[in-house]
Amino acid sequence: GSARFGLAYDESQTEETRIEQRMRVNITGIAETDAGVKLEARFRLEANEDSHANDISGRGPGAAGFAVSYGGLRVDVGNVSNVLDSGDQVDYYGYGVGFTSFLEHNANFNGPATGFGAGSQDATTIKARYNVGDFSASLSYKETRAQAAVANAPGVLGSTAVAADEEWQLGLGYTLANGMAIGAVYSDTDSSGDYWVIGLNGTAGAVGYSVIVGDGDNQADASFGASINYEVSSATSIRAVVSDGGAANADTSYGLGFRHGLGGGVTLAGGVGSKNDNTLADLGVSFSF
Amino acid sequence: GSARFGLAYDESQTEETRIEQRMRVNITGIAETDAGVKLEARFRLEANEDSHANDISGRGPGAAGFAVSYGGLRVDVGNVSNVLDSGDQVDYYGYGVGFTSFLEHNANFNGPATGFGAGSQDATTIKARYNVGDFSASLSYKETRAQAAVANAPGVLGSTAVAADEEWQLGLGYTLANGMAIGAVYSDTDSSGDYWVIGLNGTAGAVGYSVIVGDGDNQADASFGASINYEVSSATSIRAVVSDGGAANADTSYGLGFRHGLGGGVTLAGGVGSKNDNTLADLGVSFSF
Amino acid sequence: GSARFGLAYDESQTEETRIEQRMRVNITGIAETDAGVKLEARFRLEANEDSHANDISGRGPGAAGFAVSYGGLRVDVGNVSNVLDSGDQVDYYGYGVGFTSFLEHNANFNGPATGFGAGSQDATTIKARYNVGDFSASLSYKETRAQAAVANAPGVLGSTAVAADEEWQLGLGYTLANGMAIGAVYSDTDSSGDYWVIGLNGTAGAVGYSVIVGDGDNQADASFGASINYEVSSATSIRAVVSDGGAANADTSYGLGFRHGLGGGVTLAGGVGSKNDNTLADLGVSFSF
């Protein structure tokens, strides 16, 4: 599990500062057959602030995700990441700024990334990844079946139906001799068309870097994102993020942050940034257990 | 805990095949007094597909069940099985077909079996079982108290009240010298009248067999069910189920399935069958952890 | 975790006796930095009867509570106790009667005590406690931010908004050389005014005693409460509680109970009492695991 708490600032809110608080516990079951096939199942319990109003609540267990892995092949089924979210080939999120990663280098992207969480899902995803040497390929299929309209939760007028939808994603990745990884993801969704992202990331001494470029039928302009992490010392690093493009007339998003390890799995981190012309900042601790 | 996933086919659905997926974790607390009385409490977290539309969600923790056991006596209280569901004397479910046990030999029965689960309960059950030598007796009482009408969940018109109800169940069982077990359960529910089931089960070499007969005020004809499990090898078994009677003009339900142990608590299983003239089938893996 | 079940009697109900049943599991994550700062996060899963109608359900995970402690300083953040609930300086609940503690010596008090539980919270609490020698001081701040009206849950007409509120609490405590602890809590809430409680507790041989006095803008008269626990033997104790004052024309609340340890963390307990002229009683077992 993991937990984090601290302060978060959001210029767009009436009361700009809130207490940020989150606790997550993944419950994972693992089994392995005599032939060495590994099976996993997991779901998540989580507590979070609901909004900037400091109201807090728990949720979960969410829908479960399953995995089967054997040698270089891994198949995920259920409430699981699709190729873009998985990071199998493209590092879509990069080095986030702040202890809540409030700004990531995909800020100006509108890519169809869906992943595991503590909630329910209206769709089931199947993803297969195959690694062979320095090469990897992933394929995911996400199917949403039509469901009749159901009245909304209290306080929300009207009713919501689920429309049928299908999404295919293909990812290809290659790691160069110097450790630099390059990859591409292509996504085709019935409801929102094509999307592609190309990424490149690696490390050079104390510097880690990640760059992505992408575009799709659901955004006006191509998007660009880059983030770097510089290890000032063994415990402290500085991060910078920039993301641009996407919607017509989109503002450049950018931010700067730091992380400092306190030992025992505890990290103090914070950052400031601008996301679509809105100033954000945070400072807090996170820890794993 | 346990988990399973695979494919399930249902002829009656528009999209006949779905991804079957389930993860269960029971959280159990145990204590034992100096005098050797054992106390248990448990509740369940579960994730499941909600419907054939591949939508999935988690639920729980559900209502808790408690148990006190000492020597041959065990008392269960709360969200617990009644006598028919417990299997204390009668094997009401038999050898199920498929990795989801989509067909069991009680398919054509309408018996009042209620058990532990990840949900809430409007009733509290108390069951006492006493074993002495080859003989066992169980008695359960389930009380539902009247509750005022509450509006239904979003999407369901109207409101629902809970009506008061009472259910008594008595079970008697005896194990013969050759290991064959015979048993009977009699149930009397205020709202739906009497129900009785007689069962017989045992093993003969590689064959396990279970037969039940039952009838009640809530069904037109007497019901019959039988299931067998044949161990082809140490890892593989074949199962067959048949169930008949019950509702007027009911169709015979029948099915055939297999199970194959892969080691490490992993089982590959599947089956095909007909339940009330509707064809069902499944294939998948289940594992415990 | 902990669990309890047994019988509870309430004179004011139509069906006076119910099965009392509860199971609680706290999930706690702990980490410690190299400098010795300890961080904790926890949330709770719980199953309970919902009402006297024997309907039962689970809830949780609730909102999380966090703690940072270092030397004599401890800071709690999130879904955590305020000063009055915490018992840091004043023993607000004393020695409860019955295995469910259905009567405590604050029965006739109307003090603003809020604590950790398995539910959501509309407010975030921060509490700091500092211990130095025999002296301790605690300060808590609980902020509720305004939220727009949301329609009520099914079955409850209308909608509910959350109004902004602020609460400050200060507690001071001192432990005398003979082990007797004295303390005071002062609370100031925007919505309900001032409240103060003074307490004194300690042990004299086999007798434990606790006394509190308090008053506030939200009650007509000052309140008084006292409870004692007498250890008859190493396993058995008898408890008595009295609470008086508070609302105008309030009846004196009083009760008598026993506790008997069965070993292995199991306790048999029960009691009878009168709370605001309503007779209550219970008998059951509780255990921790």
What are the two backbone dihedrals, phi and then psi, of residue B86, each rounded to the nearest 5 degrees? -65, -25
> How far apart, in whole angstroms, are the C-alpha atoms of residue C50 and residue C82?
26
Mean pLDDT of C29-34: 97
Mutation site for A-interface testing, chosen from B2, B4, B5 by largest number of A Cβ within 10 Å: B5
> How far apart, in whole angstroms, are the C-alpha atoms of residue C172 and residue C139?
9
**Chain B nearest CA to C283, separation (Å):** 15
Within 10 Å of residue A285's Cβ, how many Cβ atoms? 22
Quick one: closest CA in A to C43, which residue?
A47
> How far apart, in whole angstroms, are the C-alpha atoms of residue C230 and residue C212?
18
**Chain B nearest CA to C133, separation (Å):** 38
Contacts C15 to B, Cβ<8 Å: 145
**Chain C nearest CA to A289, separation (Å):** 5
> How far apart, in whole angstroms, are the C-alpha atoms of residue C146 and residue C130?
31
Residue C73: is its pLDDT beyond 90? yes
More confident residue, A121 or B84: B84
**What's the ipTM?**
0.89
Out of A54, A154, A289, closest to residue C143 by CB: A54
Q: Which residues contact B204 (CB under 8 A, 6 or more apart)?
A: none
* pLDDT, position B226: 98
Give all chains having 3 or more CB-to-CB distances under 8 Å with chain A. Answer: B, C
CB of B234 within 8 Å of a chain A CB? The answer is: no
CB of C260 within 8 Å of a chain B CB? The answer is: no
Asked whether the beta carbons of B113 and B93 are under 8 A apart, the reply is no
CB of C143 within 8 Å of a chain A CB? The answer is: yes
Out of A35, A41, A68, closest to residue B23 by CB: A41
Q: Do B23 and A43 touch (CB under 8 A)?
A: yes
Asked whether the beta carbons of A216 and A235 are under 8 A apart, the reply is no
Mean pLDDT of C136-149: 92
Q: Do B55 and A121 touch (CB under 8 A)?
A: yes
Task: Locate all alpha helices (DSSP H) within chain A, ordered by sequence.
Answer: 83-86
Asked whether the beta carbons of A109 and A214 are under 8 A apart, the reply is yes
Residue C102: is its pLDDT beyond 70? yes
Could you tell me what percent of chain C has a pLDDT over 90?
86
Torsion of CA A186, A191, A193, A199, to 10 degrees: -30
Looking at residue A120, its amino acid is: S
In total, the C-beta contacts within 8 angstroms joining chain A to chain C are 127
Tens-digit pLDDT profile for residues A71-105:
999 999 999 999 999 999 999 999 999 999 999 99
Q: Do B29 and C1 touch (CB under 8 A)?
A: yes
* pLDDT, position A154: 56
Contacts A143 to B, Cβ<8 Å: 54
Q: C61: cis peptide before it, omega within 30°?
A: yes
Tens-digit pLDDT profile for residues A203-258:
999 999 999 999 999 999 999 999 999 999 999 999 999 999 999 889 999 999 99
**Chain B nearest CA to A249, separation (Å):** 37
Mean pLDDT of C108-117: 95
> How far apart, in whole angstroms, are the C-alpha atoms of residue B288 and residue C21?
29
Contacts B149 to C, Cβ<8 Å: 155
Q: Do A145 and B55 touch (CB under 8 A)?
A: yes
Q: Do A22 and C149 touch (CB under 8 A)?
A: no
Q: Do A145 and B22 touch (CB under 8 A)?
A: no
Contacts B152 to C, Cβ<8 Å: 154
- How many residues are present in chain A? 289
* pLDDT, position B152: 65
Contacts A66 to B, Cβ<8 Å: 3, 5, 21, 23
**Chain B nearest CA to A97, separation (Å):** 31
Tens-digit pLDDT string for chain B (289 aa): 999 999 999 999 988 999 999 999 999 999 999 999 999 999 999 999 888 887 889 998 999 999 999 999 999 999 999 999 999 999 999 999 999 999 999 999 999 999 999 999 999 999 999 999 999 999 999 999 988 877 666 555 667 788 999 999 999 999 998 889 999 999 999 999 999 999 999 999 999 999 999 999 999 999 999 999 999 999 999 999 999 999 988 999 999 999 999 999 999 999 999 999 999 999 999 999 9
Q: Which residues contact C268 (CB under 8 A, 6 or more apart)?
A: C99, C259, C260, C262, C284, C285
* pLDDT, position C249: 87
What are the two backbone dihedrals, phi and then psi, of residue C86, each rounded to the nearest 5 degrees? -65, -25
Contacts A121 to B, Cβ<8 Å: 55-57
Question: Mean pLDDT over all residues of chain C?
Answer: 94
**Chain A nearest CA to C41, separation (Å):** 7
Contacts C99 to B, Cβ<8 Å: none
Out of A120, A149, A159, closest to residue B57 by CB: A120
* pLDDT, position B151: 66
Tens-digit pLDDT profile for residues A15-71:
899 999 999 999 999 999 999 999 999 999 999 988 888 788 999 899 999 999 999
Tens-digit pLDDT profile for residues B238-280:
999 999 999 988 999 999 999 999 999 999 999 999 999 999 9
Residues 151-190 of A with CB under 8 A from C: 154-155
Q: Identify the band that residue A151 occupies on the pLDDT scale cut at 50, 70 and 90.
A: low
Looking at residue B263, its amino acid is: G
Structure tokens at B111: 């018996």
Out of B31, B66, B118, closest to residue C265 by CB: B31
Residue A155: is its pLDDT beyond 60? no
Q: Identify the band that residue C5 occupies on the pLDDT scale cut at 50, 70 and 90.
A: very high
In total, the C-beta contacts within 8 angstroms joining chain A to chain B are 127
Quick one: closest CA in C to B35, which residue?
C262
Cα maximum dimension of chain A: 59
Q: Do B39 and C263 touch (CB under 8 A)?
A: no
Quick one: closest CA in A to C60, which residue?
A58
Q: A61: cis peptide before it, omega within 30°?
A: yes
**Chain A nearest CA to B181, separation (Å):** 34
Residue C182: is its pLDDT beyond 90? yes
Q: Which residues contact C158 (CB under 8 A, 6 or more apart)?
A: C151, C152
Q: Is C85 strand, coil or helix?
A: helix
* pLDDT, position C157: 60
More confident residue, B186 or A158: B186
Q: Do A29 and B287 touch (CB under 8 A)?
A: yes
Mean pLDDT of C24-37: 96
Q: Do C120 and A50 touch (CB under 8 A)?
A: yes
Contacts A3 to C, Cβ<8 Å: 29, 39, 41, 64, 66
Is C6 domain-assigned? Answer: no
Q: How many CA atoms lie within 13 A of C49 on its CB side?
A: 24
Contacts A29 to B, Cβ<8 Å: 1-3, 23, 25, 287-289
CB of B51 within 8 Å of a chain A CB? The answer is: yes
**Chain A nearest CA to B84, separation (Å):** 30
Residue A285: is its pLDDT beyond 70? yes
Tens-digit pLDDT profile for residues C199-240:
999 999 999 999 999 999 999 999 999 999 999 999 999 999
Contacts B263 to A, Cβ<8 Å: 33-35
Contacts C143 to A, Cβ<8 Å: 54
CB of A119 within 8 Å of a chain C CB? The answer is: no
Residue A152: is its pLDDT beyond 80? no
**Chain B nearest CA to A13, separation (Å):** 31
* pLDDT, position B156: 58
Is C282 domain-assigned? Answer: no
Range of the domain at B276: 2-288
Q: Identify the band that residue A10 occupies on the pLDDT scale cut at 50, 70 and 90.
A: very high
Q: Which residues contact B118 (CB under 8 A, 6 or more apart)?
A: B24, B43, B44, B45, B46, B59, B60, B61, B62, C58
Torsional class of A14: left (φ above 0), alpha (ψ -120 to 50), beta (otherwise) = alpha
Looking at residue B81, its amino acid is: S
Residues 96-115 of A with CB under 8 A from B: none
Is C97 domain-assigned? Answer: yes
Give all chains having 3 or more CB-to-CB distances under 8 Å with chain B. Answer: A, C
Asked whether the beta carbons of B145 and C54 are under 8 A apart, the reply is yes
Burial C223-239 (b: 16+ CB within 10 A, else e): bbbbbbbbeeeeeebbb
CB of A29 within 8 Å of a chain B CB? The answer is: yes
Q: Do B266 and A123 touch (CB under 8 A)?
A: no
What are the two backbone dihedrals, phi and then psi, of residue B276, each rounded to the nearest 5 degrees? 50, 45
More confident residue, A168 or C48: A168
Q: What CATH number is attached to the domain comprising A57? A: 2.40.160.10
* pLDDT, position B158: 65
**Chain B nearest CA to A24, separation (Å):** 15
Out of A27, A61, A151, closest to residue B155 by CB: A151
Mutation site for A-interface testing, chosen from C26, C80, C124 by largest number of A Cβ within 10 Å: C124
Residue A187: is its pLDDT beyond 60? yes
* pLDDT, position A49: 83
* pLDDT, position A153: 61
Query: What are the CA-CA distances from residue A75 to residues A63, A88, A250 (Å)?
Result: 17, 12, 37
Asked whether the beta carbons of C86 and C194 are under 8 A apart, the reply is no
* pLDDT, position C12: 93
- Total of domains in chain B: 1
Residue C158: is its pLDDT beyond 80? no
